[in-house]
Every structure is written in structure tokens, then in C-alpha cells.
Amino acid sequence: MKTSESTKPKAYMNPYLAGFLLGLVLLATIYITGRGLGASGAFKSVVIASVETVAPAHAENSAYYTNFNETNPQGPWKNFLVFEVLGVLVGAFFSGVLANRTGLKLEKGPRVSNGVRIAGAIVGGALFGYGSQLGRGCTSGSALSGMAVLSLGGILTMLAIFGGAYMLAYFFRKLWLK
């Protein structure tokens, strides 16, 4: 397929400029709300709301769900992170449209099949989701926001995430490299 000049994806932003802007967004978040950004918390809201709808009896008998409702009397949806992640979807889509990067696409390493990539994404997602709950936040909520407020736990989690990925990178090189 030939792509004309007008539909070619534009270059990415300079990483330092992007980082600076991201830092300003994070700073504004801290200034306005007193807390940082996040992402995995919204997934938790999805899970809790789904389980409460599908299996209300189970949710009532499980301590985790009842605890969540006690600490979040407004329910799982009326949550800062849920609205923030909705914004992320809109903002990223907006940016993708501006830069001609939208469209259904499966991105993968050169040596793997579509099936392997999808399976890898699901397994990796599951691990990330699991770890983010155990570590009280993911790359955004714990590592990035934690670094901004100099949280010891946040910085340790950050080191563990990147350290862990580096340690395992060699074993999964076939997923990504030629």
C-alpha cells in the first residue's frame, strides 16, 4: 500500500519535550488534587463494578469487595482514576488523529505470529494487572507519581519494574527482536 505525504504518520515529539509536558500535567494534577496520576486503579473499578453486577452474592461475601465499598462510599465509578483514564482515551485518540497514527493495527516483533502476540499481550497484561495491585500502583500511579513526591515505595517499585524487565528481557528476546 502506498501512503501519500498527507497520510503518513508524523514523527514523534522530542522525548525531553514530551517528558517536560508530562511533568507539567503531573504537577498540575498534584497541585489541584494533592495526588498523582494513575491507570491501574481504573481497571480495579471495572473489575469491582463487573463482579458486583454479575455475581452480587459473591461480592457481598468477599472481604475485599466489602472493604472497597467501605472506603469508596461513592461506588467504583465515581472515582478520580476512572475519569482520568476516560480522558486518556480521548487525549490519546486526539493525538493519534493529529499525527495520522489511528487505525486498527497489530504491532508485534518480526518473528512472532499474530496469535503469539495476542497471547503474550493477554499474559503480560494479566501479570501487570496482578503486580499493580500487589505493588499498590503501576508505572503511572506508583513509579512516576511516586518519584514526583519522592515516595520511597514508589521509587522502589519503579526500580523493581524496570529491573525485573531487564532481567527477563534476554529470555523473551524472540518476542521482539529479529
* Footprint of another protein on 34-93 (CB under 8 A): 34-40, 43-44, 46-48, 51, 62-65, 78-81, 83-93
Nearer to another protein, 7 or 92 (CB): 92
CB of 53 to another protein, least distance (A): 13
Q: Cα-flanking dihedrals φ and ψ of residue 3, to 5°?
A: -110, 130
Q: Please, are residues 87 and 60 in contact by the beta-carbon 8 Å criterion?
A: no
Nearer to another protein, 27 or 60 (CB): 27
According to DSSP, residue 35 is labeled: S
Per rule CB under 8 A, count of chain residues that contact another protein: 122
Q: Which of 8, 23, 61, 75 binds another protein (CB under 8 A)?
A: 23
Q: Which of 30, 49, 52, 69 binds another protein (CB under 8 A)?
A: 30
Q: How many CB atoms sit inside 10 A of residue 138's CB?
A: 21
The verdict on 18 binding another protein (CB under 8 A) reads yes
Nearer to another protein, 7 or 18 (CB): 18
Positions 98 through 117 that interact with another protein (CB under 8 A): 99, 101-109, 117
**What would the DSSP string read from start to end of 9-75?**
PPPPPPHHHHHHHHHHHHHHHHHHHSS---SHHHHHHHHHHHHHHH-HHHHHH-HHHHHHHHH-TT-
According to DSSP, residue 140 is labeled: I
